[in-house]
Amino acid sequence: MAVNPTACEAVRATHRFNHGLSKDTFRAALDFVMNRIDHHLEAFTDRFPSAHSVDQVYQPVDNASLDYYSDWTSSFWTGMVWLAYELTEEPKYRDVAERHVASFKTRLEKRDILNHHDIGFLYSLSCVAGYRLTGSEEAKRIALDAAKLLSMRFQEKSGIIQVRGYLEDRGHKERGVFIIDCSMNVPLLYWASTMTGDRTYYDKAYRHMSQVMEHMVRDDGSSYQVYHIDADTGEPTRGWTSQGHADEDCWSRGQAWVMYGLPLSYRYTGDKKFIDAAKHTCNYFLNHLPEDLVCNWDLVFTDQDGQRDTSAAAIAACGLLELARHLPVLDEDRTLYENAALAILGSLAANYTTADDPGSNGVLGHGVYSLPKNLGVDECNIWGDYFYMEALVRVLRDWKPYW
């Protein structure tokens, strides 16, 4: 759809977000995250936490894990370590993060399980972050090489970045398929355009996100997780879900990805259509939360006793804060989105961390990798831990994103 800002559903019951929380609440929450990192830094120096925990404990995996479900997640731990370094400037964090950067370099050179769009996740939080924080030309070069590889996934006719498979493989089952998660991968292309002056990176990112707006964001502000556009004709066919409840429902984490990806696209492009669409998706999300403001795994469920996905809530909080920073200071929507993000974070901190489980090496419990696959259900998810930490850092300082 072409987002019509006048059709954007207003957020209901905004009093729910009057949180009354002080900065001390968020400082204490961040202290807990830092303690978790410190306690497990040695165990995850040369290896990485698995995508999700088992009984609230992450298992160590290699960067290019043979586990299909962990092949896109290793950088979230690296991103947490870089955040710890940015906050403290302690060499121990930089040392570990730079070892990770070397690992990502090797993975890229070997093209080790990189035949997918999540190159953006992997190299933004490892190498772009490393370059931003240390000025490392090596990290910059690796990130630019990764961006070049990601850009090669762009299909000219359909105007999208294909999720998996070789583009020349005309029989691949995911030919012409893109998923909403890629909203967070395209910032690597925008960044590469900024670094190199090569407009083609920008154009591919912009066209992909325009297709997301046109076909994945529905009229009511909800979203499809998956969409197909014919790679030969450029004709859209249909949208569906893989991890949500039903095709026409709204998978919470997918909604959170696009809530964050849209304002990031605005940051790089200045195109107001991304702000309008972001408001649309954020308002839908906020109108489909249970009483404690932590979303269930699919937004069709709003009951208080449902299965939460804390990782989606953490991503959404980051998206709300990113959107708010691009609105005028006196804009009532800016205050609304900031308050909503803080209220969600406050609920996560009070009710959903592993603080009462000393045996856990995770941060946020009650996440969901994939409920339909019964994978990582009611467990820690490493991306949830990262985005929770990022959101807390956003609240406590004027932070420049790694995206």
Show which residues are catalytic: 118, 181
* DSSP reduced 3-state for 380: coil
Nearest by Cα to 363 from 100, 59, 35: 35
Count Cβ atoms below 10 Å from residue 267 Cβ, excluding itself: 16
Residues ≥6 apart with Cβ < 8 Å to 210:
159
Say how many Å lie between the first and final Cα of the chain, rounded. 26
CA of residue 8 relative to chain centroid, distance:
23
Q: Rounded to an integer, what distance in angstroms lies between the CA atom of residue 189 and that of residue 167?
A: 18
Which structure tokens are listed for 134?
Answer: 């240390």
Nearest by Cα to 58 from 48, 71, 66, 68: 48
Residues ≥6 apart with Cβ < 8 Å to 52:
58, 69, 367, 369, 375, 376, 379, 380, 381, 382
In the chain, the largest separation of any two C-alpha atoms, in whole Å, equals 56
Residues ≥6 apart with Cβ < 8 Å to 179:
117, 163, 225, 226, 227, 242, 254
Q: Rounded to an integer, what distance in angstroms lies between the CA atom of residue 140 and that of residue 192?
A: 9
Beta bridge partners of 48: 61
DSSP codes joined into one string, 130-190: HHHHH--HHHHHHHHHHHHHHHTTEETTTTEE-SBS-TT-TT-TTTTEEEGGGGGTTHHHH
- Is residue 369 within 8 Å of residue 67, measured between CB atoms? no
In order of 7, 259, 323, 329, 349, the CA distances from 180 in angstroms are 22, 10, 18, 30, 27
Q: Rounded to an integer, what distance in angstroms lies between the CA atom of residue 181 and that of residue 335?
A: 27
Handedness of CA 204, 247, 313, 368 (dihedral sign): negative
Which structure tokens are listed for 127?
Answer: 């190498």
